[in-house]
């Protein structure tokens, strides 16, 4: 497994801050970014760039765009769900206020589009970005207002809410490499999204249960499983999804799927650690 070098990720952090510009709203957005995070989407872009031999500036544009969009979605999500903390410190809306948080998320979305000025096929990349934003917004709306009763409905929700921004960095890099066929990247991201969301649900199951939020564990509990059995079923669902993701990722053009395989390995390790700690 190739892990992106620390300087690569630090350069992307600096590039995102530059795109945000200056002023109070930019400072609020920077507050959110400085809280950290896995930068999974940046790593997907970097790893796909290696497989496709895309130049560094184009890969950075793809990584920044995907990360800025993802973090904008987190800021807005915290406001909508009234989550008081993010990554171990007050959520942006709690540290500042709701109006500033909404503006900061909007600024990040705009900065994500600005990042694509460095993309060699900016027109096509913009359409991919819009598609990802549109699907994610639909998924977030369904998460807030819909009622998820079946595993199939859960998969559909995750495919709309989580998968598009996992697929986006690899799709943008494929676009930069002149590869139009990204169907396998979309499919792999759908399976990875299930594992990614299931891991989140395992970590958040008590809080989600208390708030009545969609959670894979509580979905299984509603069908009669005990909390411990539901957690095991969620882990098994995640591991099955990782297997499907690996199969599809191997079909992704020109070794771009290596990025998805690496993410599958990281999620596999996290699920194993969770299982040992439980």
Neighbouring CB atoms inside 10 A of 201's CB total 24
Q: Which residue has the higher pLDDT, 6 or 114?
A: 114
Q: Which residue has the higher pLDDT, 2 or 62?
A: 62
Residue 192 CB contacts under 8 Å (≥ 6 apart), including other chains? 163, 166, 241, 242, 245, 260, 263, 264, 267
Q: Where are the domains of the chain?
A: 6-277
Residue 231 falls in which region: left (phi positive, over 0), alpha (psi -120 to 50) or beta: alpha
Neighbouring CB atoms inside 10 A of 162's CB total 25
Q: What is the pLDDT of residue 164?
A: 97
Confidence of residue 27 (pLDDT cuts 50, 70, 90): very high
Q: What is the pLDDT of residue 7?
A: 65
Q: State whether CATH 1.10.600.10 applies to domain 6-277.
A: yes
Q: Which residue has the higher pLDDT, 203 or 211?
A: 203
Cα torsion 168, 172, 173, 177: sign: positive
Confidence of residue 57 (pLDDT cuts 50, 70, 90): very high
pLDDT tens track for 109-156: 999 999 999 899 999 999 999 999 999 999 999 888 878 889 999 999
Q: What span, in angstroms and rounded, lies between the C-alpha atoms of 140 and 143? A: 5
Confidence of residue 4 (pLDDT cuts 50, 70, 90): low
Count CA atoms closer than 13 A to 41's CA, side-chain side.
25
Best CA proximity match to 162, nearest among 245, 225, 248, 94: 245
Q: What is the pLDDT of residue 1?
A: 42
3 has pLDDT over 80: no
Q: What span, in angstroms and rounded, lies between the C-alpha atoms of 252 and 274? A: 29
Segment 61-77 shows an average pLDDT of 97
Q: What span, in angstroms and rounded, lies between the C-alpha atoms of 264 and 195? A: 8
User: Which pTM was predicted?
Assistant: 0.93
Q: What span, in angstroms and rounded, lies between the C-alpha atoms of 192 and 208? A: 21
pLDDT tens track for 147-203: 888 999 999 999 999 999 999 999 999 999 999 889 999 999 999 999 999 999 999
Confidence of residue 274 (pLDDT cuts 50, 70, 90): confident
Best CA proximity match to 212, nearest among 144, 133, 114, 113: 144
pLDDT tens track for 222-266: 999 999 999 999 999 999 999 999 999 999 988 899 999 999 999
Neighbouring CB atoms inside 10 A of 63's CB total 30
The overall average pLDDT reported for the chain is 93
221 has pLDDT over 90: yes
Confidence of residue 278 (pLDDT cuts 50, 70, 90): low
Q: What is the pLDDT of residue 254?
A: 82
């Amino acid at each position: 497994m190739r892990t992106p070098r620390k300087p690569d990720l630090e350069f992307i952090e600096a590039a995102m801050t530059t795109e945000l510009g200056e002023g109070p709203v930019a400072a609020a957005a920077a507050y959110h970014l400085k809280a950290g995070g896995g930068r999974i989407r940046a790593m997907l872009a970097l790893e796909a760039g290696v497989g496709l031999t895309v130049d560094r500036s184009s890969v950075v544009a793809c990584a920044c765009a995907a990360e800025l969009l993802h973090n904008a979605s987190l800021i807005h999500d915290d406001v909508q769900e009234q989550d008081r903390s993010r990554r171990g410190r007050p959520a942006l809306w709690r540290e500042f206020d709701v109006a500033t948080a909404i503006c900061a998320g909007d600024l990040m979305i705009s900065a994500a589009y600005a990042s694509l000025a460095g993309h060699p096929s900016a027109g096509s990349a913009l359409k991919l970005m819009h598609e990802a934003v549109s699907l994610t917004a639909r998924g977030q709306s369904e998460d807030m207002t819909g009622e998820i009763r079946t595993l199939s409905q859960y998969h559909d929700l995750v495919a709309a809410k989580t998968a598009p921004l996992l697929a986006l960095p690899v799709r943008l890099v494929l676009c930069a490499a002149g590869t139009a066929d990204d169907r396998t990247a979309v499919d792999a991201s759908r399976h990875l999204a299930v594992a990614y969301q299931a891991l989140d649900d395992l970590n958040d199951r008590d809080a989600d249960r208390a708030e009545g939020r969609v959670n894979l564990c509580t979905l299984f509990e509603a069908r009669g499983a005990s909390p411990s059995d539901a957690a095991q079923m969620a882990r098994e669902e995640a591991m099955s999804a990782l297997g499907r993701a690996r199969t599809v990722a191997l079909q992704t053009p020109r070794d771009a799927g290596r990025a998805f395989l690496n993410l599958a390995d990281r999620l596999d390790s996290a699920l194993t650690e969770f299982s040992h700690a439980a």
